[in-house]
Amino acid sequence: MKEQGVMLPTKGTPGDQLLKEMGDLRANDARWKEGRTWSLVYYPGEEIYDFLKKAYTMFFAENGLNPGAFPSIRKFETEVVAMTAGMLGGGPEACGAVTSCGTESIMMAIKTYRDKARAERPEITAPEMVIPETAHPAFYKAAHFLDVKAVRVPVRPDFRADVEAMKAAVTDNTILIVGSAPSYPQGVIDPIEELAALALEKGLSCHVDACLGGFMLPFVRKLGYPLPAFDFRVPGVTSISADVHKYGFAAKGASTIIFQNKDLRRHMFYVFTEWSGGIYAHPTMTGTRPGGSFAAAWAIMKHLGEEGYLRIADSIMKTTKKLIDGINSIPGLYVLGKPDMTVFAFTSDSLDIYALGDAMEARGWSSDRQQRPASLHCMVALAHEKVADQYLADLRECALAVAENKSSLPEGTAAMYGMMGTLPDRGMIKDLVLNFMDDLMSVK
């Protein structure tokens, strides 16, 4: 097999040589263990990290495709689902499945409601779901793949879902109302009680995307922080997605989709009975399901327990407050909205925020850039406790430097995002991103 000059070697390479090469290749990767990244990795510390690796590799070869062959995997999945459902206020009928990621959990929720509508409301031939504009792009991905129209509704000035606007967007084709707990961009919880009440009023389902907050908010609430209601305790909430590999600290490849009851979950399953290879029945999108991710998810939940999650949540929330207060004290910078947990974004009315991001990147701090409004994004983890003061000091210095060089031509992502923000043709932006993806997926 050949792609751009890279060929499968005729002879194999010794394992120790390859492992050294792989280690060398990591030299330019994000320095997540040092707390220098603000997304992607939720590092729980070396002790827990080593424990997770042992749990995962113990079931490295097992395949959750057939839980009959591996009753251990079945136990891990059903108990992870049960523990998560209980944590999120689910009743005795709450049930679901473990998936590979939040996107898959969201896709399974949309598939469930689409198939439910096909069975119960066959007159709907063009199903729609009403979502706030801050909802995760996974909903648009699901809409694209599953032929369910995503009706996108602007949010309020505080970045939370506008319930009246969402109500106005409901039509005879609507099958689902969506809210986030919290939304990724600004870390705020949508008014789930009002959205769920709207769903009940209209005879619709209501999904809460808690992929980000599902394993943090229950413990933030127990610590006494004021939070709006967001889970199955809210009448009308019919399903919740929650990632174990985010603030649940499991190994990558573990999310959950939880339904109110089994009647709903039946619509998630896929069954094909006419294959010569036998009857094929599967709960989620993927076929092969890595046993290691199930094992690690179960192990970390059992290992930490409520006490461990509370301890971690307390630490991260305190670090978050320090960061938010520190950012708001830097001239020209301020945090957007009022974040409900450990995720937030900040911007400026006087500085080029993307140039600030580039300046921080040059000092080894990796932050995601956001748009509408332009901002830098932070997802706080345990590793940030030790580096928060240094981050704030660097941020203050970089903000001053950017302010003093307003006339300089933008470079790096500042130039790229600045250009994209001025292009009126969104199709042109899509082409630029597609070209970028082509380049990213090519062998270097």
190: three-class secondary structure by DSSP? coil
Q: What is the pLDDT of residue 104?
A: 97
Is 128 in contact with 148 (CB distance < 8 Å)?
yes
Q: What is the per-residue pLDDT for 43?
A: 81
Q: Given this model, what pLDDT does residue 32 score?
A: 77
- Please give the average per-residue pLDDT across 175-179, as a whole number: 98
Spatial strand order in the sheet of 368-370: 333-335, 343-348, 375-379, 368-370
Considering the domain architecture, whether residues 293 and 234 belong to the same structural domain is answered as yes
Single out the residue in 302, 324, 357 at which a domain terminates. 302
Q: Of 24-33, 149-158, 185-194, which gets the smallest average pLDDT?
A: 24-33
DSSP string, 46-108: HHHHHHHHHHHHHTSS-BTT-TTT-HHHHHHHHHHHHHHHHHTT--TT-EEEEESSHHHHHHH
Strand partners, 280: 272
Residues 407, 285 share a domain: no
Residue 207 has pLDDT above 50, yes or no: yes
Do 353 and 283 belong to one domain? no
Q: Are residues 200 and 97 in the same domain?
A: yes
The pLDDT > 70 percentage for the chain reads 92
Q: Do 362 and 225 share a domain, yes or no?
A: no
Quick: pLDDT tens for 98-121: 999 999 999 999 999 999 999 999
pLDDT at 2: 43
Q: Are residues 370 and 223 in the same domain?
A: no
Q: According to DSSP H, which parts of 340-405 are helical?
A: 353-362, 388-404
Give the model's confidence band at 35: pLDDT under 50 very low, under 70 low, under 90 confident, else very high: confident
DSSP element (H, E) containing 114: helix 102-120
Can you list the alpha helix ranges (DSSP code H) found in 182-290?
Answer: 192-202, 217-222, 262-265
Q: CATH no. for residue 359?
A: 3.90.1150.10
User: Which of the four pLDDT bands, split at 50, 70 and 90, describes residue 221?
Assistant: very high
Of the residues 302, 336, 360, which one is the last residue of a structural domain? 302
Whether 119 maps to a domain, the answer reads yes
Angle at 54 between CA 53 and CA 55, to 5 degrees: 90
* Domains: count for the chain: 2
Q: Looking at the structure, tell me whether residues 164 and 291 fall in a common domain.
A: yes
Residues 381, 282, single domain; the answer is no
| CATH number of the domain encompassing residue 200 | 3.40.640.10
Statement to judge: residues 232 and 287 lie in one domain: yes
The pLDDT, as a whole number, for residue 415 is 47
pLDDT tens per residue, range 370-420:
999 999 999 999 999 999 999 999 999 999 999 988 655 456 554 455 545
Q: Which of 302, 329, 357 is the last residue of a domain?
A: 302
262 in a domain, yes or no? yes
Exposed / middle / buried, residue 393 (Cβ in 10 Å: 0-12, 13-18, 19+): exposed
User: Is 413 or 430 the better-scoring residue by pLDDT?
Assistant: 430
Residue 64 lies in a domain: yes
- Asked whether the beta carbons of 172 and 144 are under 8 A apart, the reply is no
Mean residue pLDDT across the chain: 91
Q: At a CB cut-off of 8 Å and minimum separation 6, what does 307 contact? A: none
Per-residue pLDDT band at 46 (split at 50, 70, 90): confident
In whole angstroms, give the CA distance from residue 16 to residue 262. 49
The predicted structure's pLDDT at residue 245: 95
- Which residues have CB under 8 Å from 220's CB, separation 6+? 227, 313, 317, 340, 341
User: Do 260 and 385 belong together in one domain?
Assistant: no
User: For residue 2, is it within any domain?
Assistant: no
Residue 33 lies in a domain: no
Co-location of 118 and 249 in the same domain: yes
The single residue listed with the structure tokens 């399974």 is: 108
In which domain, by residue range, is 390 found? Answer: 349-436
366 shares a domain with 234: no
Contact 417, 385 (CB under 8 A): no
Angle of the 388-404 helix axis to the 291-328 helix axis, nearest 10: 60
How many whole angstroms separate alpha carbon 364 and alpha carbon 347? 19
Is residue 12, in this structure, part of any structural domain at all?
A: no
Closest by alpha carbon to 342, among 220, 441, 206, 193?
220
Amino acid type, 157:
P
pLDDT at 4: 59
H or E segment and range at residue 203: none
